[in-house]
Amino acid sequence: MALDDQKGGFKFIGTRPNRPDGLDKVTGRARFGADAHASGMLHAAILRSPHAHARIKKIDTSRAEAAKGVKAIVTRADFTQSLQPAPGMKGENWNILENVMAGDTALYDGHAVAAVAATSALAAKDALKLIEVEYEPLPHVTDVDKAMQADAPVIREGVAAGTVPKGLHPNVAGYHESGHGDVEAGFAEADLVVEDHFVTEATHQGYIEPHACLAQLGADGKGELWCCTQGHWNVQKVCAALLDLETSQLRVTASEIGGGFGGKTAVFIEPVALALSRKANRPVKLVMSRAEVFRATGPTSSTSMDVKIGMKKDGTITAAQGVFRLQGGAFPGAPADMTAMCAFAPYALKNVHQIGYDVMTNRPKQAAYRAPGSPMAAFGVESVIDELCNQLGLDPLDTRLKNASHEGTKASYGPKFQRIGLVETLEAAKAHPHYTAPLKPGQGRGISCGFWFNHGGETAVSLALSEDGTVQLAVGTPDIGGSRASMALMAAEVLGVPYDNIRVIIADTASLGYNEISHGSRVTYASGLATIKAAEDAVKKLCARAAAKWGIPEDAVKWEDGCAVPSGPNAGEFPPMPIAEITRKMGATGGPICGHFEATPEGAGVSFATHIVDSEVDPETGKTSVVRYTVVQDAGKAIHPTYVEGQFQGGAAQGIGWALNEEYIYGEDGRLQNPLFLDYRIPVASDLPMIDTVIVEVPNPGHPYGVRGVGETSICPPLAAIANAVSAAAGVRMRQLPMSPPRILEALEKQAGDG
Amino acid sequence: MSMIHVNTKVNGDEAEFLCDPRETLLDVLRDQLNLTGSKEGCGTGDCGACSVTLDGRLVCSCLVLAVEAEGHEIGTVEGIAEGETLHPLQQKFIEYAALQCGICTPGILVAAKSLLEKNPDPTESEVRYWLAGNLCRCTGYDKIIRAVMDTAKDMREAS
């Protein structure tokens, strides 16, 4: 059905029913990663490097092996020997192995070097102290700019991808360059050019559930793995590669997942637990501590960025260029390309050029964090636009509207945009009472746009009808924030059965075809599309059964409100046949009725957001409060609007933490100094205001109902919007995140000194 | 190290266990009594996912040694509903989508219930400060605060 025909015609889409797993989640019944038990289960613990960079000369496990309750110890020797390093991302499985368990060198503070399985968690931890590791400390580097300098220690030779220009430091693992037009000519046309340098610190996804798994692997090569992950097929594939298993022999079940935000797309402990289980021939449970999560799982990249934009007096942007240096830890893979590609995407530019550097340091391997790279890029770009508007006396919203990308715009990163909703979010922001509300003394207002690509990816969904006409729907994308509700709504819409009659499960790896990770804001888009198609497949079969019963052609039957009905001039007169009447007899009329769909949908529509923030800065303490916050974002079509609002609010809150307080702090010794929630302080309830939301719906032509991903775009504008608000409130441009009280005081003092 | 025998009451039922003196109340609740509703998010008392009540007082069970439970009454998320009847907070959290991933939800429910028992008519600021010890990374707290405020209103009107 064409999108226009659907408009307003939905029965279930856009309603706000209770989520199917709500009861489990409010009663403590839901089983997360650490909540599984198995008989005979051992507990495991991992020994980690206290050095930022050190050669591992010797590991002596003999005393630990002799300790009470210890059943197995593994080191790198217990994993595959068949993987080889390779330049760029070609050797990614080797990189993952190297990260999961160090080889001859510990590459960062917290890098795993050995692991123990014992009869209790305490016995395992006690045994760690008995493992003797002889280290030879090496020079280290943790700062992105320093890591690119000629005298920086080399993390690993030969990593640079083929695209990296000659002559750069070996720590530069990846390089991206794109754009169009002639930026120098564009800058020459400008009435004002602003160029500035920006810095952001690494932040952690900060999911409240530490990584946890329960593994069982026998000598027969058959395994069972339970873990909290955003993508269990990926876990299956990676673990098989790291342990020389046949992929299909390892069945992985995704537990409920206590937050991920990109950080649970990576594999850290699962291969270790499987290796221990294989060695001990017992099930092994492995749960990370919070400090391990901070030290050894993926924070996002820290950045160093240069942004230059030229503007005419009327607000037209004449040229834009950016250089984005991303610190990605001790491995290649920092999203330098995506950072560069997102940077100027909101604007229709004749002349644009962007460069990204993926730089290695002695820090944990960065992992995806909600729209990887885009929030930092937006911080630089939108700060410069704000500064241009200030200096030219222009309204920041009107200026963005004047330059906004729209359908047909050649994007800064290459392709032509299809139908997009940036202009609509800007207009909605302009119309929102927040934008014109008076500010109190000491307060400042900031706005920013944000962009994210969104993603489709490999997807398989299966739907089975029960004899009573109810529906079992199996999807393969872990439910991080209520996606079971939106899947059930989409299936209900097609099948015409009540929402409550649909049971949605997250199937294990043995039950469906490959499902890519829940990432790229792809779940409601891709699993949703597959759910719709699977339901349509079932409907087709239901109609065929009715046609056979009525003795009319299959195409003379259509599906309406949960019933087969005759359709067309020659179909004859029959009363509607409800779903349950067909399913009750399905055993005798051709067997079980199921629908399924497998594909790699590629029509994930890109999305944009505009945020408005009011902040207040205390000039005595440097403390910033966010006093009002409004998120305006294009959702394409909100399947379950309450959960869409939740994504908007959650992204904004994480952005507030990133902008104001969160940062990885490394000492001179290269050790992480704040690996606990006490010192790495994420926003708490008393830090935040209510977060207002406006859902804009500009349908994505690539989805049957118009859905665009919503999970990631919401974190793209906050860093810049807050920086612009804080800069307005403090009267000084803030160019470094987080804008913590000491940094604000320093900026204020510097300004007073300069004045 | 020899184990210690502890007698306690959990959600109204008598419970006894043997524990290592280093084990926390949270360890024992989860690993021995199979009450895995209480979660370990940090183990240092910073996230509140392990919130329980000890003789009616809100505590982080990761900061209480299991042996300290001797002779005391523990309340966990599993004890909030009365049989099949959900506590109004639980009902409202589902209705308001006051949870996304749900890992912080048990702790927040225990903490919010404890607040409403002390203060049936809290202001928004009071709710925000009371729940400041319970981290949620998904929601931005907006829907949680609204759910607690609205439950308080319903409960006041019902009493």
Q: What is the pLDDT of residues A213-256, one digit of tens each?
A: 999 999 899 999 999 999 999 999 999 999 999 999 999 999 99
Contact A209 B131 (CB under 8 A): no
Q: What residue type is A707 in one-letter code?
A: V
Residue B151 pLDDT > 90, yes or no?
yes
Residue A35 pLDDT > 50, yes or no?
yes
**pLDDT, mean of residues A117-138:** 98
d(CA A625, CA A440): 13
Task: Determine the pLDDT at residue A1.
Answer: 39
Q: For B138, which of A16, A259, A684 is closest by C-beta distance? A: A259
Residue A720 pLDDT > 80, yes or no?
yes
Task: Please report which confidence band the pLDDT of residue A755 belongs to, taking 50, 70 and 90 as the band edges.
Answer: low
Contact B86 A23 (CB under 8 A): yes
Handedness of CA A286, A289, A295, A297 (dihedral sign): positive
What stretches of chain B adopt beta strand conformation (E)?
4-10, 13-19, 51-54, 57-60, 73-75
Q: Mention the CATH class of domain A3-30+456-599.
A: alpha beta
Q: For B100, which of A24, A121, A646 is closest by C-beta distance? A: A646
Two tokens, residue B106: 């048990």
Contact B77 A28 (CB under 8 A): yes
Contact A684 B135 (CB under 8 A): yes
pLDDT in tens, A147-202: 999 999 999 999 999 999 999 999 999 999 999 999 999 999 999 999 999 999 99
Contact B143 A261 (CB under 8 A): no
The superfamily in CATH containing domain B88-158 is [2Fe-2S]-binding domain (1.10.150.120)
DSSP state at residue A736: B
Two tokens, residue A378: 């937006």
pLDDT in tens, A535-570: 999 999 999 999 999 999 999 999 999 999 999 887
Question: Domain boundaries in chain A?
Answer: 3-30+456-599, 40-139+205-296, 420-449+606-754
Shortest alpha-carbon distance between residue A297 and chain B (Å):
15
Contact B94 A22 (CB under 8 A): yes
Q: How many CB pairs under 8 A join A and B?
A: 183
Task: Determine the pLDDT at residue A6.
Answer: 53
Residue B135 near residue A644, CB atoms below 8 Å: no
Two tokens, residue A210: 């530490």
Task: Determine the pLDDT at residue A88.
Answer: 83
pLDDT in tens, A128-157: 999 999 999 999 999 999 999 999 999 999
**pLDDT, mean of residues A83-108:** 94
Lookup result for tokens 């349509």: A536
Task: Please report which confidence band the pLDDT of residue A2 belongs to, taking 50, 70 and 90 as the band edges.
Answer: very low
Q: How remote is the C-alpha of A50 from its chain's centroid? A: 29
Decide if the complex's ipTM is over 0.95.
yes
Dihedral Cα B44, B49, B50, B56, nearest 10 deg: 110
What residues of A are in contact with residue B44 (Cβ under 8 Å)?
290, 676-678
pLDDT in tens, A317-340: 999 999 999 999 999 999 999 999
Task: Please report which confidence band the pLDDT of residue A8 belongs to, taking 50, 70 and 90 as the band edges.
Answer: low
Shortest alpha-carbon distance between residue B13 and chain A (Å):
17
Residue A3 pLDDT > 60, yes or no?
no
Distance set, CA A357 to CA A157, A307, A322, A380, A596 (Å) = 17, 14, 11, 16, 42
d(CA A174, CA A161): 6
At B13, phi and psi to the nearest 5? Answer: -100, 145
CATH 3.40.50.620 matches A420-449+606-754: no
Lookup result for tokens 């934008």: A435
The superfamily in CATH containing domain A40-139+205-296 is Aldehyde oxidase/xanthine dehydrogenase, a/b hammerhead (3.90.1170.50)
Tell me the β-bridge partners of A505. A474
Q: Residue A314's closest CA among A188, A190, A423, A182?
A: A190
Distance set, CA A390 to CA A349, A577, A603, A699 (Å) = 20, 66, 38, 34
At A375, phi and psi to the nearest 5? Answer: -60, -40
Residue A522 near residue A600, CB atoms below 8 Å: no
pLDDT in tens, B137-149: 999 999 999 999 9
Find the residue in A nearest to B40 (Cα): A209
Please name the helix (run of DSSP H) or strand (run of DSSP E) that holds residue A655, with its range, or none.
helix A641-660
Contact A258 B101 (CB under 8 A): yes
Task: Determine the pLDDT at residue A570.
Answer: 79
Contact B102 A256 (CB under 8 A): yes
Residue A625 pLDDT > 90, yes or no?
yes
d(CA A170, CA A650): 38
**pLDDT, mean of residues B46-63:** 98
Q: For B97, which of A287, A643, A691 is closest by C-beta distance? A: A643
pLDDT-above-90 percentage for chain A:
96
Find the residue in A nearest to B22 (Cα): A122
Task: Determine the pLDDT at residue A754.
Answer: 77
3-state secondary structure A96-145: HHHHHCCCCEECCCCCEEEEEEECCHHHHHHHHCCCEEEEEECCCCCCHH
What residues of A are in contact with residue B143 (Cβ under 8 Å)?
642, 645-646, 649
Q: Residue A144's closest CA among A89, A197, A87?
A: A197
Shortest alpha-carbon distance between residue B81 and chain A (Å):
7
Task: Determine the pLDDT at residue A659.
Answer: 98
Distance set, CA A581 to CA A497, A503, A545 (Å) = 13, 20, 10
Lookup result for tokens 């400390």: A137
Shortest alpha-carbon distance between residue B159 and chain A (Å):
23
Residue A487 pLDDT > 80, yes or no?
yes
d(CA A294, CA A267): 15
Q: Residue A418's closest CA among A600, A614, A636, A141?
A: A636
Contact A676 B109 (CB under 8 A): no
Distance set, CA A615 to CA A425, A612, A623, A722 (Å) = 21, 10, 10, 7
Contact B27 A120 (CB under 8 A): no
Angle separating helix axes A270-280 and A232-243, nearest 10 degrees = 50
d(CA A629, CA A724): 13
Task: Determine the pLDDT at residue A4.
Answer: 46
Residue A7 pLDDT > 60, yes or no?
no
pLDDT in tens, B67-113: 999 999 999 999 999 999 999 999 999 999 999 999 999 999 999 99
Contact B40 A34 (CB under 8 A): yes
**3 state SS of A247:** helix
* Strand arrangement of the beta sheet that strand A459-465 belongs to: A502-506, A471-475, A459-465, A594-599
pLDDT in tens, A454-477: 999 999 999 999 999 999 999 999
- CATH code: domain B4-79 is 3.10.20.30
Two tokens, residue A488: 């059930």
**pLDDT, mean of residues A381-398:** 98
Preferred mutation among A27, A125, A477, A631 to probe B, highest tally of B CBs within 10 A:
A27
**pLDDT, mean of residues A400-420:** 98
Question: Domain boundaries in chain B?
Answer: 4-79, 88-158
Residue B66 near residue B6, CB atoms below 8 Å: yes
